[in-house]
Every structure is written in structure tokens, then in C-alpha cells.
Amino acid sequence: MSEHKVTFLPSRRTGFFEEGTSLRDTALELGIVIESTCAGIGTCAKCKVNLPAGQEGVTPHAPVEEELLTPQEISKGVRLSCQAKIAGNCVCVVPQESQTFGDQIEIEGSKGHFPLDPDIRKIALTIPEPQLGEKYFDFERALAQLQERGIHISDYNFYAARALPALLRASKFCMTAVVDGENLLTVEPGDTTAVLFGIAFDIGTTTVVAKLLDLKSGDVAAVASSLNPQKSYGADVVSRINYLVEHSGGLELLHRLIIKQMNELISQLCRNAEISSENIYKISVVGNTVMNHIVLNIDPHNVAYVPYTPAFQGPATISAKELGVKINEQGTAYFPPNLGCFVGGDITSMLTVLDVDEQEKIQLAVDIGTNGEMVLGSKKKMVCSSSPAGPAWEGAYIAWGMRAARGAIERAEIVNGDLEFRTVGNAEPVGICGSGLLDLVCEFARAGVVELSGRIPNVENLPAFVSEQLKSRIVHCDNGANDITIARIDDEKAIMLTQKDIREVQLAKSAIASGIKILMKELNIGPTDIGTVYIAGGFGNHVRGQDAIDSGLIPKVPVENVKFIGNAAIAGAEAMLLSKAAREKAERLGKDVQYVEVADRKDFHEFFVDSMHFPVGGNGEKKFSHAL
């Protein structure tokens, strides 16, 4: 399928995306979280964007847009970003009223709250030429010029001293110094100060995201993403640790795979932005603790065994050349500190662009993925933990599970007594992705088809208010359990939600809920003491707030207090590249946030069992009402 260039204003963020991707999902990939209380299902009408006149790069208005938008809005080019799909190159304007907190994290957080003041700078110098009889040393004269500009150099790459004599004479003593903090990285002939780029990387267990940043303006020049190639060696971090323990050379293989993938993304970013990789001088890398170890080629196996000890916390700065990353040969790679055994620099990064540490009222931040990480606290105290949710949200171990690819059921609702659903790309259904899975389970629980225990009862035991259409979907299996028919593929095959699938959802959500309850116990608080709940992560962006509450995934708070903040990890990685203040905050958080280990706690297992139940359901009450 072809890709098209999409630009969002006023942020001026640009990327290349597959045809058929919604503008909402495109914006999320670029770190722009557009207001949407319905999680992109087309009912809240809050995700409005403007398309300048003459745009032909999106699909025509969907029926739901014609219903929810006024004729005046339609005539002015207003669209619902969840319904407008990419059909060609286009420019999209996100009005102020449609921008939500996630976008403020990246725009205001990295460029407003934090000043644009990167550690890495370029300084153009004109060095006085030596005179006969004068005590003169090329390198020291350059350092003295920097000192006169208020720039102290405490360390330098000896490449600079080695290259300087020939460079000065070839450039008529005009040069540019590239400085990272107090470290002189390299020298370049002439004035090259106009070109200064960096890349923010989020190395996830499943996916890798990279953003090319213009460090002079703070703008995102290009964005790229891919699957983590290590996935073939384990769906979660513990599986990958087991692989490298059991296979000689396993660590080197996993390290080589991720570095190769990072370099491929760098090449893609450079092509899209039409720059040379030599113009990239620094990268920031965030990921969970195990991913950070593997990227740095450090053995993480002690993380998986009692007493669960990582090899390092960080922060760490390493030569990009030593790491094998193909940017400027003298460039560097920065890793913010990990917070604990399974709470890595990606969560430090997320906290960097939140203000949990500045609030009087307690806040909760949760990153939902293969591993669930959670942080709870305020300016008085902050605690963090993690729990293994497993890959169910990615479709693993689910009978018809799949990633959020074309044809995956991503949204579901019971309307007028029967199930309706929407697929990625509005294609024929071929499976169920994470957001669709949670939708289905919560909808059937609210409708009484799934009991609070998670069991699918026999048809004759269903509540009286359950419709005949829903009853007809229940299939009794040879093993004695019941499954639910979701969509027919053909006369012989149908996409099913099985009893085992529901158990997998229960296990995944209970792991996260139990971790949160442990932290609440640590602070001696209840749900009513929690102000805002921030949900981060790619999967989190497609979860309904009400589903998160009704499933028991998060504490029972007012649904309006649930904020979806996009990929806050990559936002923090950007901020740390763009502002030394953000980096300094990340390093303070590394010292201040307390880590709570749950693995050996009896109360964690008690919370886990208790959290398996669904706290809401079985009364036929509708939380949503619309036609998909």
C-alpha cells in the first residue's frame, strides 16, 4: 500500500503514512493527541480538524460526519479526524479547541515549559591566525575563543585536536565547534551552525519509534516506526532474557538486531527530511530497563532472577560510534536513568513531561503494554512499580488475536440489542486487536452476557434483559465452556471471542490493577484520593476511559479525570534532546521516585485474585449509544 505525506499545523509535524490511516491515528504517531472522549469511534464529535480548501488527500465525509457536523462546518472543511482517512498528500490544521493534554506534553512540555536550550550546540569561531614568534597552539587558541564566548570545555574528543590544524588552514581559520555540555565533540570547517539535528528513540518491547528533531527550531523534521525485530526471540522481556541466557551469543544477537533496526530508521528519517546522517549529532534513547541493557550490550539476566538486580541505573552517555549507531561519527547517545528493575527510562521520560512531582493532589500515570508500569504520587512522595500484563493487548494468546493491522476489529458496541463493530481500514474482519478485545469484553459484561466472574454462562442462565440476538451468538463447546460469535468469515468459519480469551484479558488487566493497588496501599490512599489518571502507550491511546474503569484496569475515578497522553515516553525523549532543563529533571526523578517490588508480596497475589472480577456489568445499562 502506498504512503503519503501528511503535515499538521500549527505544530508543523510531518510524516509519511499508509493510505487508509485515519488522521487521528496519524496525529498520534506524530505525538499530537487530538481531543476524543470516545477514543476515536465517531460519537463525541470532539476530534475536529480543518482541511484547507482544495484538499484531495483524504476520503470523503463518512455518514457519521454528515450526522454530527453542521452544514456550515462541512462547507468550511471541518472533519472528524477519526473518520477522515488518508488518500494522498495533505495538510491538516488542528484547532486549539481540539488539542488535548498529550499534545501539550509535546508542544508546551518540550518547548514551552522547558526552554529550547539543548545540551548540544554549534558555535562558529574565527580564530586569529598565528604570527611568527608568537606563542600559539591551534587547539588551545580554539578553546580560548570558546572560553571568551562563555563556553567552558572540560572534556574533548581527541579527534578534534587531531583534525584542527589542517581544518583551520583549509577554511581560512573559520570553524564551527560542536559542543555537548562541556564536551567538545568535533570541529567543522566554516560556519555550519544552521544545521543541527538529533533523534529521539523509544525502544519498546514490541515497537520502535524514532523522531528526527531540528535542534535549532525544536521542530519535528520526520518520524518513523517499526516492529522491534527482537520479537522473534520472545514476546516479553523475560522471554528475551531467557533466550540470551540459554543461547551462547544471544545478547550479542539481540543487541545487533536492535542497533540494525535503529540504523534503518535513521536512514528512513534522513531520506524523508533530505538530510545527511552526518548532520545528526545526538540521540536520546528511552526504553524499559531490559531494552536499555540490550541496546547498550549489557547483560540483563539478573533482572529476571531474585533479587532482581539491573546492572546499571544511569543516566548514561556513550559514543554513538561505539554503540554502532550511524550518525555523525563523533556524536553521542544519551540514556536517562531507569527507575527500577522493570521500570525503565521510558517511564522516567514520561514523568519528565508530566507535572506529577509538582502537584498537591495525588496523580496516577499508567503505561499499558506488554509490561504495565505505573507511577503514583504528588510533590510529597512518588512511588512506582510494574507488573507483567503479558502480550494479550498485542493479540497474543487470543484465539483470533492480531496486531492493529488492516481488518482487525478495533471498536465494538452493542447497539439495539446486537453487536456492531468497526475494523482497521474499514476492511472485512480478519481478527481482533487489543482495543477491540477490551471493547468486546466490557460490552458483553455490561450487557450481562459475561458474568462479573468473567464466565460466559449457558443461554438458559442469561439475565432476562439479554436480547435474542446476543443469545444466538453464544456457542457451547465440546470442552464445556461457551464462546461468543463475533463475525462470520464464511459458512464454516467465524471470528470468536472464547472463554479463554476473556481469561487472558482478566489476567492482563488484573496484573496492572494489582500493581496500582500496591502503590495505593504504599501511600495509604483510596480511589477518591486520586486526581487525574494519565494513560500512556500506543494501546492506551485506543482504550475508552469507561472501559478502563468498568473492567477494573484502573481505579474507579470520574471518567472525565482519565486523560490519554499518547506516547509520552517519546515526548520526554524529545524534551531531553531539546532542553537541558528537561534532562536535569529526568535525572532528579531518577533519584527521587521510589521503586516498589511486587513479586514477593503476598498482598500483590491477593489483589491479583480480587482484581480478576469485573466491577461493573450485568445490568443492561448502556454506557455508549451510537451506531458505528
Residue 258 reports pLDDT greater than 70 = yes
- Which of 52-61, 176-185, 340-349, 615-624 shows the lowest per-residue confidence on average (mean pLDDT)? 615-624
Helix boundaries (H) for 171-307: 237-246, 250-273, 289-295
Closest CA to 28 of 542, 559, 572, 576: 542
Mean pLDDT of 265-273: 93
pLDDT at 627: 38
- Which of 133-137, 511-515, 606-610 shows the lowest per-residue confidence on average (mean pLDDT)? 133-137
pLDDT at 39: 54
Q: Grid coordinates representing 475?
A: 456457542
Number of H helices, E strands in the chain: 18, 27
- Which of 11-15, 158-162, 206-210, 400-404 shows the lowest per-residue confidence on average (mean pLDDT)? 11-15
Residue 293 reports pLDDT greater than 90 = yes
Higher pLDDT, 118 or 371: 118
Higher pLDDT, 203 or 205: 203
- Domains of the chain by range and CATH? 3-99 (3.10.20.30), 120-189 (3.10.20.880), 197-345 (3.30.420.480), 346-391+506-611 (3.30.420), 393-504 (no CATH)
User: How would DSSP label each residue in 333-384?
Assistant: EEEPPP-SSS--HHHHHHHHTS-GGG-SSEEEEEE-SSEEEEEEE-SS-EEE
Mean pLDDT of 482-490: 92
pLDDT at 110: 34
Distance CA 449, CA 466 (A): 7
pLDDT at 191: 95
Distance CA 526, CA 45 (A): 33
| Secondary structure string (H, E, C) spanning 86-100 | ECCCEEEECCHHHEC
Confidence of residue 618 (pLDDT cuts 50, 70, 90): low
Mean pLDDT of 92-103: 65
Residue 238 reports pLDDT greater than 90 = no
pLDDT at 105: 31
Q: How far is CA 76 from CA 45, 56, 86, 99, 342, in A?
A: 16, 14, 19, 19, 49
Place of cell 531467557: 242
Residue 75 reports pLDDT greater than 70 = yes
Confidence of residue 421 (pLDDT cuts 50, 70, 90): very high
Peptide bond into 10 cis (omega under 30): yes
pLDDT at 278: 96
Angle between helices 138-148 and 158-170 (to 10 degrees): 90
Confidence of residue 38 (pLDDT cuts 50, 70, 90): low
Encode pLDDT of 131-140 as tens digits.
Answer: 887 788 888 8
Helix (H) or strand (E) holding 189: strand 183-189
Written as one letter, the residue type at 354 is L
pLDDT at 207: 83
Long-range contacts of the stretch 154-161 (C-beta < 8 A, 24+)? 154/182, 154/183, 155/182, 155/183, 155/184, 156/183, 156/184, 156/185, 157/183, 157/184, 157/185, 157/186, 157/330, 159/186, 159/329, 159/330, 160/184, 160/185, 160/186, 160/187, 160/330
pLDDT at 8: 86
Backbone angles phi, psi at 195, to 5 degrees: -120, 110
Residues 6+ apart with CB under 8 A from 131: none
Residue 615 reports pLDDT greater than 90 = no
Confidence of residue 621 (pLDDT cuts 50, 70, 90): very low
Backbone angles phi, psi at 326, to 5 degrees: -90, 75
Residue 37 reports pLDDT greater than 60 = no
Which of 232-236, 558-562, 590-594 has the largest mean confidence? 590-594
pLDDT at 305: 87
Q: Grid coordinates representing 578?
A: 531539546
Decide: 497 and 432 in contact? Cβ < 8 Å: yes
Q: Sheet containing 482-488: which strands, arranged edge to edge?
A: 474-476, 482-488, 494-497
pLDDT at 335: 97
State CA 471 to chain mean position distance: 39
Decide: 187 and 167 in contact? Cβ < 8 Å: yes
Residue 525 reports pLDDT greater than 90 = yes
Mean pLDDT of 34-41: 63
Average pLDDT, the chain: 87
What per-residue string of b and e applies to 361-398 under the rule 16 or more CB within 10 Å gives b? ebbbbbbbbbbbbbbbbbeeebbbbbbbbbbbbbbbbb
- Which of 231-245, 254-268, 398-412, 610-624 shows the lowest per-residue confidence on average (mean pLDDT)? 610-624
pTM of the model: 0.78
Confidence of residue 617 (pLDDT cuts 50, 70, 90): low
Higher pLDDT, 618 or 570: 570
DSSP reduced 3-state for 38? coil
Distance CA 312, CA 532 (A): 32
